[in-house]
Amino acid sequence: MKIISKNLYIRSASGKMKLVLLRPEHLNTTVPGILWIHGGGYTTGFAEMVHFSAGRMLAEEFGAVVISPAYRLSLKAPYPAALEDCFTALEYMYRHSDELMIRKDRIIVGGESAGGGLAAAVCMMARDKGEIPIRFQLPLYPMLDCYDTPSSMDNHGYFWNTSRNHRAWKLYLGPLFGSASIPKYASPSRETDYSGLPPAYTFVCDGEPFYDETLTYISNLNAAGVPASVDIYPGKAHAFDMTMPWTKKAKEARQKLREVMAPILSEKTDKGIPE
């Protein structure tokens, strides 16, 4: 499906924020909407990364409208700036759903790495506020835990490792870094009540830093009665579907994502998460 791209500019806490909008070239009915949040350890990255992400793939495959916010990065503005911006983008999608041709009952929030962490935080905030229903979440290999886990404490994986992780969390949390009481919206692993959150799907490599926190997040959702599943791929490469898209496991991961999302993004059925 041919997708067109344009930039929108909306009001935000910083004054103005850019949104990268992807939509089918010919759109004559409302379709699912996806808020896709880019990665980069909260410190780097840009909204246009959506063009080589799973977000773009889902737009092309299923004809969804995708919005990628250019949220404030921690080098200039630490928490809660990025979360505020991403939630503002979600509110814009919901309030302007008619002109964007987005189905209000079929909004998905996803992202990769730090974007996956922000996706989880956005879902928690949306549930707690009770104003915007999120149908599904896709926090891919998400950056969720500001404290060391067994897989992140001494990790020398490709593209992301322990030293980069520590630096990124220090910049993102700012004066909160090292505190014993980190807000759940800053580090979603601090959440204690996972009930009422949207169903979820993710995938991760077994040797990368975020392996344990990803599995813990899915386990906590399941324990709270939320349908959630994770696929595990061998290797140490963080964000392997984006950094090494030509590999067999990257192609397998994207194909499984298509299969999981087909019933969610289809107009005809809504069966939930395949086993």
**Would you write out the chain's pLDDT as a tens digit for each of its 275 residues?**
899 999 999 999 989 999 999 999 989 899 999 999 999 999 999 999 999 999 999 999 999 999 999 999 999 999 999 999 999 999 999 999 999 999 999 999 999 999 999 999 999 999 999 999 999 999 999 999 999 999 999 999 999 999 999 999 999 999 999 888 899 999 999 999 999 999 999 999 999 999 999 999 999 999 999 999 999 999 999 999 999 999 999 999 999 999 999 999 985 444 444 44
Q: CATH assignment of 3-177+185-265?
A: 3.40.50.1820
Number of CB atoms found within 10 A of residue 78's CB: 21
The distance of Cα 164 from the centroid of its chain, to the nearest Å, equals 20
What is the reported pLDDT for 267? 59
Q: 17-24 and 65-69: which strand pairing?
A: antiparallel
Q: Are 230 and 204 in contact (CB under 8 A)?
A: yes
Q: Which of the 8 DSSP states describes residue 146? A: S
Q: Are 261 and 62 in contact (CB under 8 A)?
A: yes
138, 204, 255, 274 from 199: Cα distances, Å:
9, 17, 19, 12
User: What does the alpha-carbon distance between residue 174 and residue 52 come to, in Å, rounded to a whole number?
Assistant: 30
What is the reported pLDDT for 112? 98
What is the reported pLDDT for 180? 84
Give the type of residue at 75: L
Nearest Cα neighbor of 82 from 41, 140, 134 is 41
23, 73, 131, 197, 248 from 127: Cα distances, Å:
26, 24, 8, 6, 37
